[in-house]
Amino acid sequence: MAKFFDTLSEQHQDWIKEQKIFFVGSAPLDGDGHVNVSPKGYDCLRILDANTAAYLDLTGSGNETSAHIMENGRLTFMWCAVEGPANIMRVYGHGEVVLQGSERWQELAPLFELFPGARQIIVNHIDTVQTSCGYAVPFFDYKEERMTLQKYAINQGEEATKAYQQEKNQVSIDGLPTPLSTVTNE
């Protein structure tokens, strides 16, 4: 049975901190647009307070979440227990994209280990927390983080990574602009 909360309780926060993976969901307003669900690993998530969570977003082949936030703000994070008692938690809210070089970046970046290829910080201003059973989620054993993305960013170097972001991460697959499209390389 689903339960709803206005905030992340201390128990919710402790459980989230134990999880090794979470998923980010967003969508454009256009019904023909693509719904995006993106898995996130590494130690990239921080709970800022009972109604705010953020993650350090790394360079990837797309930038859908950022585009959807810029268009409509809707954002969902989801965790599901793959070990221990069954549980699923979703936090629904409104996103904020924090770009490097901004005042907000200076405030939030020290909270994270700045992995190679760091692109932006995505903040979820949480409106609703939902928990549900998760009884159909299978058990999995955590082995280790994949280091491929970090190694790629290191091998490319910071300049090439920024160039990649400017080439590949300025619009969504549906053609929506991302906040990176507002950044100029001078």
What is the arithmetic mean of pLDDT over 129-134?
97
Cβ–Cβ < 8 Å for 128, 1:
no
Q: What pLDDT band is residue 67 in, cutting at 50, 70 and 90?
A: very high
At a CB cut-off of 8 Å and minimum separation 6, what does 157 contact? none
Q: What pLDDT band is residue 16 in, cutting at 50, 70 and 90?
A: very high
What fold is seen in the domain 3-138+145-174? Answer: Pnp Oxidase; Chain A (2.30.110)
Q: What is the pLDDT of residue 185?
A: 57
Does the pLDDT of residue 76 top 90, yes or no?
Answer: yes
Does the pLDDT of residue 102 top 60, yes or no?
Answer: yes
Side chain identity, residue 109: A
DSSP letters for the chain: --EEESS--HHHHHHHHH-S-EEEEE--SSTTSPPEEEEE-SS-EEEEETTEEEEEEEP-S--HHHHHHHHH-EEEEEEE-SSSS--EEEEEEEEEEEETTSHHHHHHGGGS---TTEEEEEEEEEEEEEEE--TTSPP--------HHHHHHHHHHHHHHHHHHHHHSSB-TTS-B-GGGG----
Global pTM? Answer: 0.96
What is the arithmetic mean of pLDDT over 3-13?
98
What is the arithmetic mean of pLDDT over 149-156?
94
Residue 146's CB: how many other CB atoms inside 10 A?
Answer: 10
Q: What is the pLDDT of residue 183?
A: 85
Q: What pLDDT band is residue 74 in, cutting at 50, 70 and 90?
A: very high
Cβ–Cβ < 8 Å for 63, 90:
no
**φ and ψ at residue 14, rounded to 5 degrees:** -60, -40
